A and B are shown apart, each in its own frame.
Chain A
Amino acid sequence: MKEISCKLLVIGAGPGGYVCAIRAGQLGIDTVIVEAGRPGGTCLNVGCIPSKALIHAAEEFEKVAHMASGKSPLGISAAPPSLDLAKTVVWKDGIVSRLTNGIAGLLKKAKVKTVQGWATFRDGKTVEVETETGTQVIRAETVVIATGSAPVELPFLPFGGPVISSTEALALGAVPKRLAVVGGGYIGLELGIAFAKLGAAVTVVEALPRVLAQYDAELTRPVVKRLAELGIEVMTGAKAKGLASEGQAGKGQAGKGDALLVETADGKNARVAADKILVTVGRKPLTEGFGLEQIDLDMAGKDGAGKDGAGKFIRIDDQCRTSMRGVFAIGDVTGEPMLAHRAMAQGEMVAEIVAGHKRSWDKRSIPAICFTDPELVTAGLSPEEAKALGGEIKIGQFPFAANGRAMTKLGEEGFVRVVARADNHLVLGIQAVGQGVSELSAAFGLALEMGARLEDIAGTIHAHPTQGEGFQEAALKALGHALHV
């Protein structure tokens, strides 16, 4: 097969890779993108988008079930709902396929050549792609590694059979009766909550003393409360040990039921009955299987700061350059935070650098969202991180219990919290927890990126009645004159 030569080769068509390729195409760069699966990567195919579809279906189902229980204060009653999860999955797949086709179209429109297949480095400028029609060699002046990440597998709970990753969880044909979730991070809780709403008996097993441990306890409290309301059992300080069989446990069941063996916080062994065991203990960068060892890049630790060769992430600088000239890396393969929007911003930046523009990473915040119930948003610095800077800080917090719109949505749980410098009121960080607060992330990110002070937020008219008013009120609170609390 004839060799392809191009200016820019992007390996991986996830959110980082496809954005990089589209932007490069817009800038007139001769670009090739290689992807083994469908375009869109984890995000579109087995991550952000499908999980949000499932979560939405679960929310709707739970609402109707709540109405059917006769407890709805809205005065609506309904017949108990029933669910055809296979149909839900078809609906979800429809969305995914529209989006992935959309990306294929956008790439084409930007005159990016897509090569489908698995790429392997031959050297820093050359890859071989195993396509359906044979081996395609591609030579490029510049290579962008955007291979993404994959769910971490536990050695004592290998994926297969009842043990599933988030990928399989999003494609189940039926709701498992009993679901054990190993790992109480945001992926585990998002899916755990969704399946609980769809009727599964969910148990979350978390090794740390609390779930969503990277967030402060105040912020996660409404989520923990909701977990209890949904009947989700949370075992903290507990370690999953492996598979067990209920039959062996001698509980009289037909010996077919599976269970998860757990060492509880007090050191005892317990069995968690489970039809499916969802393992969500993090994601690892995809650095194997594509000949990365051929080009021997410097690697970094989780925060990008590890010693050379010590980490599992590809080390990058503030322009996403790796240790090899002409080789960039973007997205999950470069470390935390593993978020699609970070990868997209990196991809866009790298395309512009390749086009000769002066760019470097100067973002003030990468907002992060947990689509739990209630939702959780963080942007910028937490109060603890802000305090660690050394200066005095001001914190303003406004509860949704005092927000009219939140009340009318039955969403009084949660709050917006603003963290600012005490001396000049520069906003350093914004967090929120509450129903639908994910949409507030845009305002939070904008405020931080524009360098807003508390007065800027307090002085901006926020439309009434919206939950966004909570943002303004939190800023007013930090200034000492909140109006509605």
Chain B
Amino acid sequence: MGEHVIKLPDVGEGVAEAELVEWHVKVGDLVREDAVLAAVMTDKATVEIPSPVDGEILWLGAEIGDTVAIGSPIVRLKVAGEGNVKDALQEVEEGATPSPERQRSTPTPSPSPQGGGGRATASKVGAKPTLSSSVDSKGIEGVGAAATESPSPLRGGVRGGGTAPTSRVAAPGGAPRPEGEKPLASPAIRLRAREAGIDLRQVAGSGPAGRIGHEDIDAFLARGPQVARTSGLARNDAIEDIKVIGLRRKIAEKMALAKSRIPHITYVEEIDVTALEDLRAALNKEKRPAGAERPKLTLLPFLMRAMVRAIADQPQLNALFDDEAGIIHQHGGVHIGIAAQTPSGLVVPVVRHAEARDIWDCAAELNRLAEAAKSGTATRDELSGSTITITSLGAMGGVATTPVINHPEVAIVGVNKMMVRPVWDGTQFMPRKMMNLSSSFDHRVIDGWDAAVFVQRIKTLLETPALIFMD
């Protein structure tokens, strides 16, 4: 019987600290080797911290939202055998605890007496200690099984090792149960609800398996008529405090930095993309060469290639401005960040070396990165290192936007919505597919003239798309 301390591993190049965004375990949980303990977020990627050993969680060293230094102990486990801690107490006291004031439970130096209970909590410390309660892998299995036998609604999906309970009880304010699931209530409750005009689907059940009881109906009624009433206007005095953590915090910091440091100049120009759209349609319609996996082309790969061309003329647009050092790092490689919306917020996967990719390659890489970003599997490398950025809201693109530069870059190209507009061709109005580009530049290092030249160059390339491919 020993203790094993898990320190926050080095989760990426040059990262000194990471933000803890999720605990998958709590004190008292039994975990197996490789079970996910926590998720931490570095610059832009989220990294899961697995357990290297089987054991029981004794102590968690940070709270969600805390920033933890690499190498700090974050979890202490009770394990079979020696463990990796000679003097557990000393180690923990010496260890750089990131937020000692938030430490949730005091370390228990002696072998914990809670070994036998899959759901043991700190309150059980007084329980009778027995040697046989030592947790070896077999013990974990047994306890794990026992835990699944008595689930509470709060521990809906207890998995083998007693990790990561998935709550079935919705958070306050959310739907009381998954869509399509019938409310669970005895016939007497159903009758009472019906007579009171209550739709049980709206009532959360506090009983086992989410069963709705009389007290739930009482609570529902006590919340007042504005809740039960289905029509009419009602005051809503609720204030929900949402902690800005994880990706949201990163985005907030980054946006504040960009807007406070960079004097933006935004330039909007309209582009006639009729010819480009014809070309795109033709290419997408063209029979794919046998064996070659050709992705469907969107507008973005063309824009990327056009930007590569324009940057060849104006390399100062493809740069990172270190304003503290007073140095502009002008890059040869065009690494185009693509701002992408994901369920948890904005991320910017990067298509590296767009100058060395043809249109198909750009499209394929774009698809791959978009998929990875959406599913959250994009690596930190894939989400950083851009030198210029494209932002596109697709059909939601609107007429014009004022894009915020992806600091410390100096330019960002925003794609607005494409729509058919009447265009005067000298003799008559013609229906043309028109699209605006809204681009922002760091006015400290890019003059308005250069910005205009850059956008006009892209306009020329996109309006006569053959130019994109001419050498």
Q: Do A and B bind each other?
A: yes
Q: Across the interface, do B209 and A425 meet the contact criterion of CB distance under 8 Å?
A: yes
Q: Across the interface, do A423 and B156 meet the contact criterion of CB distance under 8 Å?
A: yes
A480: chain B residues within 8 A (beta carbon):
145, 149
Q: Across the interface, do B151 and A425 meet the contact criterion of CB distance under 8 Å?
A: yes
In chain A, positions 432-485 with a C-beta closer than 8 Å to chain B are: 449-451, 453, 455-456, 479-481
Interface residue tally for chain A (C-beta within 8 Å): 20
- Is the C-beta of B153 less than 8 angstroms from some C-beta in chain A? yes
Could you list which residues of chain A lie within 8 angstroms of chain B, going by C-beta atoms? Answer: 357-360, 362, 364, 421, 423-426, 449-451, 453, 455-456, 479-481
- Is the C-beta of B187 less than 8 angstroms from some C-beta in chain A? yes
State the CA gap A455–B211 with chains docked (Å): 14
16 pairs, CB–CB < 8 Å, chain A vs chain B: A357-B195, A358-B194, A421-B209, A424-B168, A424-B210, A425-B151, A425-B209, A426-B184, A450-B187, A451-B184, A451-B185, A451-B207, A451-B209, A453-B208, A456-B208, A479-B149
State the CA gap A350–B187 with chains docked (Å): 17
Chain A nearest CB from B143 CB (Å) reads 13
Q: Across the interface, do B153 and A424 meet the contact criterion of CB distance under 8 Å?
A: yes
Report the nearest A residue to B211, measured CB to CB. Answer: A451
> Known contacts A362-B190, A424-B153; can you find 19 more A-B pairs with CB under 8 A?
A358-B195, A358-B197, A360-B194, A364-B182, A421-B209, A423-B168, A424-B209, A424-B210, A425-B151, A426-B184, A449-B186, A450-B187, A451-B207, A451-B209, A451-B211, A455-B150, A479-B149, A480-B145, A481-B149
State the CA gap A451–B186 with chains docked (Å): 6
A424: chain B residues within 8 A (beta carbon):
151, 153, 156, 168, 208-210
Q: Across the interface, do A449 and B168 meet the contact criterion of CB distance under 8 Å?
A: no
Given known A358-B194, A424-B168, A424-B208, contact A449–B150 (CB-CB < 8 A): no
- Is the C-beta of B116 less than 8 angstroms from some C-beta in chain A? no
Interface residue tally for chain B (C-beta within 8 Å): 22
Interface digits, B138-155 against A, CB 8 Å rule (1 contact, 0 not)? 000000010001110100
Chain B nearest CB from A320 CB (Å) reads 15
- Is the C-beta of B397 less than 8 angstroms from some C-beta in chain A? no
Interface digits, B380-419 against A, CB 8 Å rule (1 contact, 0 not)? 0000000000000000000000000000000000000000
State the CA gap A451–B194 with chains docked (Å): 18
State the CA gap A394–B211 with chains docked (Å): 19
The 10 closest A-B pairs by CB, nearest first: A424-B209, A451-B184, A426-B209, A450-B186, A358-B194, A451-B211, A423-B156, A453-B209, A479-B149, A362-B190
Chain A nearest CB from B162 CB (Å) reads 15
Report the nearest A residue to B166, measured CB to CB. Answer: A423
Chain A nearest CB from B438 CB (Å) reads 45
Main secondary structure of the interface of A (DSSP, over half): loop
In chain B, positions 58-107 with a C-beta closer than 8 Å to chain A are: none
Q: Across the interface, do A423 and B157 meet the contact criterion of CB distance under 8 Å?
A: yes
A455: chain B residues within 8 A (beta carbon):
150, 208
A479: chain B residues within 8 A (beta carbon):
149
B168: chain A residues within 8 A (beta carbon):
423-424
State the CA gap A358–B210 with chains docked (Å): 24
Chain A nearest CB from B141 CB (Å) reads 13
State the CA gap A366–B208 with chains docked (Å): 23
Chain B nearest CB from A224 CB (Å) reads 35
Q: Across the interface, do A359 and B194 meet the contact criterion of CB distance under 8 Å?
A: yes
A450: chain B residues within 8 A (beta carbon):
186-187
Most chain B CB inside 10 Å of its own CB: which residue of A362, A425, A480: A362
A449: chain B residues within 8 A (beta carbon):
186-187
Chain B nearest CB from A138 CB (Å) reads 31
Report the nearest A residue to B157, measured CB to CB. Answer: A423
Chain B nearest CB from A436 CB (Å) reads 26
A364: chain B residues within 8 A (beta carbon):
182
State the CA gap A425–B210 with chains docked (Å): 11
Report the nearest A residue to B213, measured CB to CB. Answer: A451
B149: chain A residues within 8 A (beta carbon):
479-481
B185: chain A residues within 8 A (beta carbon):
451
Report the nearest A residue to B200, measured CB to CB. Answer: A362
B197: chain A residues within 8 A (beta carbon):
358
State the CA gap A357–B145 with chains docked (Å): 48
